[in-house]
Amino acid sequence: MITDDFSAYAVGIDIHLDRPVTAAEVRGRVEELLVAIAKACDQAGATLIGHIKAVVETEGKGFLGISVTEPTGKATTRGELQDGAKALEITVNVLLYGLTRSKVQELVDPLAMRMLDFPGSEIELEDLEEHHHDHGRDDHDGHVHEHDEHDHC
Amino acid sequence: MEMVIVAGFLGSGKTTLVLSTISRIIERTGKKVVIIVNDFGTVGIDGRVMQKYGLNVTELASGCICCTLGGDMLTTVQDIEAKIAPDIIVVEPTGVADPSAIVHAMGQYPGKPMERILSVVIVDAVRFPAIVKALNRPLTSQIKNADLVLINKIDAVAPEALRDVETALRAMNAEVRIIPVSALQGTNIDQVVEAVVG
């Protein structure tokens, strides 16, 4: 089901906090981020969202796995997180059809910077799949061309 | 050794299903289960989440198991057989994989042949119409080659919508066993366990 307009983008987000954050705050912000990414990709012309997932990892304070599959859907969350984390390692993975990888990155990174900007935090983003090829053929506005449905897999 | 392939489109609930069934399979049968997870790309989110739940997970990253990782999979299965000797290997391929390609690849397995390979395909009841529209041919191929089809997220659709999904699936494969489930809420998971381990 890998077609010409299939794109995969993954970003690692390291957050160092001045003050400990509550589990509810982390969960709320990451859930909102994934929903916002889904909406932004949909509005930018994504034809189908595969999934938008995140895993939040901490040093001894637990973890969360969060997923969104629809632009109008709610996030599904599993895992346990305790209050008091002072550092968060978040990985966001977006798999979708209809946008190029660079367009997805252009949408995801600013949203992550803005929505995960906890007071007094330092945030760093790293493209985790920089060397992976983009299946989509980019045109000037980041959309990919319609394709015959041919599955490589 | 048996192999259970848990396939399905991205976001269909494969990981949730694995998390909700594997512990029951272990409790019920006492069998040793190892999971091979193949996330698309270098980021193994599903495998990391499963490991955090205490499951025995081996990750195959950086590609799609059915197109580029066939050889890696065979090596991994062989390693697992030698080091762990499980009763069941559960393979969760990326949501863009064709499970029949994995079955085909296992035909080249240099070790002792699997006693059984069961291909389970999970369908997302909520997004089924959109997925059929966008990816009809590969989805139909998955369903045609499945031994068991699970319609997941039944808690999130109306009964009429569920009937429509079942009708469409029956048109693709008239014989296959279909079980409606909610992996998140645990609905009909015992039926799935029964179908998988007998």
Contacts of B66 in chain A (CB under 8 A): 153
User: In this complex, which of A2, A49, A67 lies closest to B64 when CB atoms are compared?
Assistant: A2
Yes or no: say if B9 and B139 are a contact pair by the CB < 8 Å rule: yes
Complex ipTM value: 0.84
Count other Cβ atoms within 10 Å, centred on residue B49.
25
Confidence of residue B55 (pLDDT cuts 50, 70, 90): confident
Contacts of A10 in chain B (CB under 8 A): 41-43
Model confidence over B95-126: pLDDT tens digits? 878 888 889 889 999 989 999 999 999 999 99
What is the distance between the alpha carbons of residues A139 and A141, in angstroms, rounded to a whole number?
A: 6
Query: Residue B9 has what DSSP assignment?
Result: S
User: In this complex, which of A2, A8, A65 lies closest to B49 when CB atoms are compared?
Assistant: A65
What is the distance between the alpha carbons of residues B108 and B71, in angstroms, rounded to a whole number?
A: 9
Contacts of A125 in chain B (CB under 8 A): none
CB distance B130–A95 less than 8 Å?
no
Confidence of residue A128 (pLDDT cuts 50, 70, 90): confident
pLDDT higher than 70, residue B128: yes
Phi and psi at B78, nearest 5°, equal -65, -45
Contacts of B126 in chain A (CB under 8 A): 69-70, 73
Yes or no: say if B153 and A67 are a contact pair by the CB < 8 Å rule: no
Percent of chain A with pLDDT over 70: 83
Give the model's pLDDT for residue A44: 97
pLDDT higher than 50, residue A146: no
User: In this complex, which of B48, B101, B184 lies closest to A76 when CB atoms are compared?
Assistant: B184
Model confidence over A20-72: pLDDT tens digits? 999 999 999 999 999 999 999 999 999 999 999 999 999 999 999 999 999 98
Contacts of A49 in chain B (CB under 8 A): 11
CB distance B95–A50 less than 8 Å?
yes
Q: Report yes or no: B83 at the A interface, CB cutoff 8 Å.
A: no
